[in-house]
Chain A
Amino acid sequence: MRRLIARYAKECSTHLEVITVWDDEMEKEELPHDKPHIKTISHSHPAAIWFERKMHDDFGIVVEGAFDNRPLVAHERFLAKLHPMRKSFTKTSVEYADYRPYKYETVRGDGVFEVAVGPIHAGIIEPGHFHFSQAGEDILHQEVRHFYKYRAIEKMVEGKTLAQAKPIIERISGNETIAYQIALRDIMLQAANTELPESNRKYHAMLLELERTIHHLTDLGFIPNDAGFGAALSVASRFSEDARRQMHSLTGHRFGFGAIDFSSHQIDPGAMNGYIDTLEESLDFFEKWIVDIPSLWDRFDTTGILDSKKAIQYDTVGVVARASGVEIDRREERFYKEHGFEMAIQHGCDVAARFKIRLKEAKNSAKMMRNFLTKECETVKIEEIEDGEYFAYSESSIGELFMNIEIRDGVIERFFARDPSFINWQALHLMMPDNIIADFPLINKSCDLSYAGNDL
């Protein structure tokens, strides 16, 4: 089956265009400006549901045959039929409109009750809403509702040059900033028709692996913490702080904002090698310790199962897909393989599998960082940016990131980014049935998806 990567619309001067990106090809459909209609593909690819709902909110495109026509981005207080991504919409502020109730997907029946969680959660996390239908402790159904953080970044960067848009794009999702910057870098290189020297590529790839290490180490602490094993959080949060400090000493920023550029850098291989030694030793200790705690694996095993058939049907990517036995990783290419990339695959499909994937990938990242280590990288000159439509992919710590930028007259005409979370959030509810509500935080954390990247 083909894998759906993204489906989105853009406005051209004479018509609207709907672009559907598959793993093997790209389809374009032209629609008239007034009364645009398309046919849904959500029956065969459920991941298209959010894409199509967003398309309707953004452009007013009517999706025929869709079984879910509720607004997605436009919440209760948004004015109906605003369609802000249309070029004719230029307002920078809108009034709160009358409250339009949102009809949640619920299961009805004797004794079935609903539990609403969020948008503001109990911990230090991003806002989002989870709506459960419960029979006692057992989850019958869950609906994920997001876009509380919707900042309209797609619209914000329109009319800017790539250089002007860079500080905004690198702040779309703090945890994935290097991945976003690398996707943007690739688009800049394509537009400037320039090749990146090997040393720069290696340096950037090393930073991406360091970002992945930070993210995975954080999760390796938080997942056991959500199963009531706080000691793991204390240990792993120390490792992730070490990794973050390493990022700071390399890039001058703890998250690496502004780290991917075209200027020259000097790297101290001794210090970096020393750090990687400590990291490998820490991971080795952590693994031997954590596999030996049976009560923890009691909680992990068979919790939050997403079988591989469903994982493929819902076009999932990243850690979630790989833990369900689906081999998808943008790093599976010559450059990465030459530097020691190994695909991490698990067939358990549960929280335990996702935990093991993170552990395996963190170890693989340490190995790759060593191979990517270079002493210095060169200055690259970016000259003329050519108009055109450019596409880029990168593998963030969550999964495959897709970015499309169309440049016209030297400025961004349309920016579109599909965070891996956008796809994976839609598969989260599949992991819920047969689990109790107390396991939801554990399952959610094992996927560790981004809210900011999803909402844009």
Chain B
Amino acid sequence: MIRFWNRRLKSSILTENPELDEKIQTIRKNIKSEVKKKFAGSLAIRMVDSGSCNACEAECNALSNPYYDLERLGIYFVASPRHADIMLLSGLMTFNMAPHVLDAYRQIPNPKWVVILGDCPMMQAPFEKTFAIETTAKSEIPIAHHIPGCPPSPKEIIEGLLEFLQKI
């Protein structure tokens, strides 16, 4: 543990990465104030995967690494739809998953929004419609915002969440 703290004290704050420029800084400020205004300080996200390739999930997990550290903006991923303000939906809407996605959606208390992540829910990824894929997520539940990309990078997800917050 001493070794860890030695290294930790030597390394500066990672989150101020040169790659994340001024733009991100303003976005962060905006996000903080939007989150504060509309969600009393914290925005709770329930992530649901309805048939993705796992890349979108990996990028969402990357949001909590020291470079992005989403939680300090007041945005949290929560464990249950009953704790959530919004549902972040990724992946193709598969035949086997669709009823469960709707179930999770029903469990989110009002007011609630659905933000879709990546190209899959809009059927814009290279996948084609088969019998095992329901139509786009749009025809199943009301969509408030779409964050495109295959997969969207963590930076794009943060930007997308801000756009969503400004929209509502």
Contact = CB atoms under 8 A, between A and B. Distances in A.
B148 interface: no
B130 A152 contact: yes
Contacts of B97: 119, 127, 148-149
A134 interface: no
A198 interface: no
Contacts of A156: 127-128, 130
Contacts of A238: 14, 65-67
Contacts of B121: none
A93 B129 CA distance: 8
Contact of A244 (B62, B104, B132, B150): B62
Interface residues of A, number: 57
Nearest to A238: B66
A175 B54 contact: yes
Contacts of A75: 95-96
B25 to A, nearest CB: 19
A36 interface: no
Contacts of B99: 77, 96
A94 interface: yes
A5 B168 CA distance: 52
A151 B130 contact: yes
Nearest to A248: B153
A127 B90 CA distance: 11
A174 B58 CA distance: 9
A168 interface: yes
Contact of A126 (B54, B104, B134): B54
Contact of A148 (B7, B59, B77, B96): B96
| Chain A interface SS verdict (over half) | loop
A124 interface: yes
B40 interface: no
Contacts of A150: 51, 94-96, 132
Contacts of B104: 120
Nearest to A254: B153
Interface string A105-132: 0000000000000011011111100000
A171 B53 contact: yes
Nearest to A253: B150
Interface string B88-126: 000110111101100010000000000000000000011
Contact of A168 (B52, B56, B126): B126
Interface string A292-309: 110000000000000000
A285 B95 contact: no
Contact of A124 (B4, B77, B125, B128): B77
Given A120-B104, A150-B94, A151-B51, A237 B65 contact: yes
A125 B97 CA distance: 14
B49 interface: yes
Contacts of A285: 3, 7
A254 B100 CA distance: 30
B150 A149 contact: no
B131 A84 contact: yes
B42 interface: no
Interface in B59-89: 59-62, 64-67, 77, 79-81
B100 to A, nearest CB: 5
A151 B153 contact: no
B44 interface: no
A122 B80 contact: yes
A237 B66 contact: yes
A454 to B, nearest CB: 11
B103 to A, nearest CB: 8
Nearest to B91: A149
A374 interface: no
Given A127-B48, A150-B95, 13 more contacts: A78-B96, A89-B131, A120-B100, A127-B49, A148-B94, A150-B132, A152-B130, A175-B54, A237-B61, A241-B65, A244-B62, A254-B153, A255-B151
6 contacts: A75-B95, A77-B96, A148-B97, A240-B62, A240-B65, A450-B54
The 10 A-B pairs of least Cβ separation, nearest first, read A174-B55, A237-B65, A167-B126, A122-B79, A152-B132, A174-B53, A152-B130, A174-B54, A149-B51, A75-B96
